[in-house]
Amino acid sequence: MASSNNSFVAIFSLLLLSTMQCHAQLSSTFYDRTCPNALTTIRTSIRQAISRERRMAASLIRLHFHDCFVQGCDASLLLDETPTIVSEKTALPNLGSVRGFGIIEDAKREVEKTCPGIVSCADILAVAARDASTLVGGPSWTVKLGRRDSTTASHTLAETDLPGPFDPLSRLISGFANKGLSTRDMVALSGSHSIGQAQCFLFRDRIYSNGTDIDAGFASTRRRQCPQEDQNGNLAPLDLVTPNQLDNNYFKNLRQRKGLLQSDQVLLSGGSTDDIVLEYSNSPRAFASDFAAAMIKMGDISPLTDQNGIIRIVCGAIN
């Protein structure tokens, strides 16, 4: 019996060491010697993109999120369709809505000029999300680096693992928990809806529901640009008050029943997340701090490191 226990301890120790090594390989100083200008180069590209179109900040944060939730943070989302790859771009949660691929390719191209074959597309996505946040008034954080790029994509997982705009609270909580993210992380990350826009067909049912969980005046305003039929792609800001500023107004809106998506308002609906929403609505500092921490945690989801994966030269294709 003692020898069986010893074997269990040895196996557990190896597993723990393996997990620790995986995370230890992500480091904020990863490119300090091999590509010291990488972060500055990426930031310049992202700043130019957001100065051209403020909404791009939301799109870049969402790209990182939609990448990490499918196979981990491995840039699988960026791969184009080929005879051997069924792209995640065509999965229902991404089709016609995820954007910013060209911005990431531009940043990659600039980095390749000075450090060819060194910086992964997965790391560029992570850095771009942080830079996008800071450029629209959101928090900053230290990005851990050293991810490598996948050689595969998963259209199937993109269909099943990404949270949806109609999900009930229980499904949102369990979906994030499956990725190692707490309920608090989920609510904080939902605050990224302080910026960006949504398409009419994603909130149509909500604004025509005459439900008790939506402010009547807010619903009426949103109906002007979202008729009951057609115009599916018409856009509306997720936050009417400060649509181009990453702040805690998103949570204040929920208190007024002005969450645009069902999956937004459900965070303040008598459930386990109510207290967190109220806290963030009252404290911009608490939201900013938790958002930064949750983004770091999300960036840790199943990275490819060491000899796993590759460094893609072009983000949309295998070398």
Would you please indicate which residues are annotated as catalytic (active-site) residues? 66
Annotated ligand binding at 242? The verdict is yes
Annotated ligand binding at 266? The verdict is no
Annotated ligand binding at 193? The verdict is yes
Annotated ligand binding at 81? The verdict is no
Annotated ligand binding at 112? The verdict is no
Helix axes 183-190, 169-177, angle to 10 degrees: 110
Take residue 18 and report the two structure tokens written for it: 């393996």
- What's the rounded Cα separation, in Å, for the pair 43 and 49? 10
Positive or negative, the Cα torsion across 47, 52, 54, 59? Answer: negative
Annotated ligand binding at 275? The verdict is no
Annotated ligand binding at 239? The verdict is yes
197: how many CB neighbours lie within 10 A of its CB?
16
111-134 as b/e: b if 16+ CB within 10 A: bbeebeeebbbbbbbbbbbbbbbb
Take residue 191 and report the two structure tokens written for it: 């605050």
Annotated ligand binding at 76? The verdict is yes
Annotated ligand binding at 97? The verdict is no
- What's the rounded Cα separation, in Å, for the pair 296 and 194? 19
Please name the residue ranges forming H helices in 25-150: 38-52, 56-68, 101-114, 121-135
Annotated ligand binding at 67? The verdict is yes
Binding residues for heme b: 193
Binding residues: 67, 70, 72, 74, 76, 88, 163, 193, 239, 242, 247
Binding residues for Ca(2+): 67, 70, 72, 74, 76, 88, 239, 242, 247
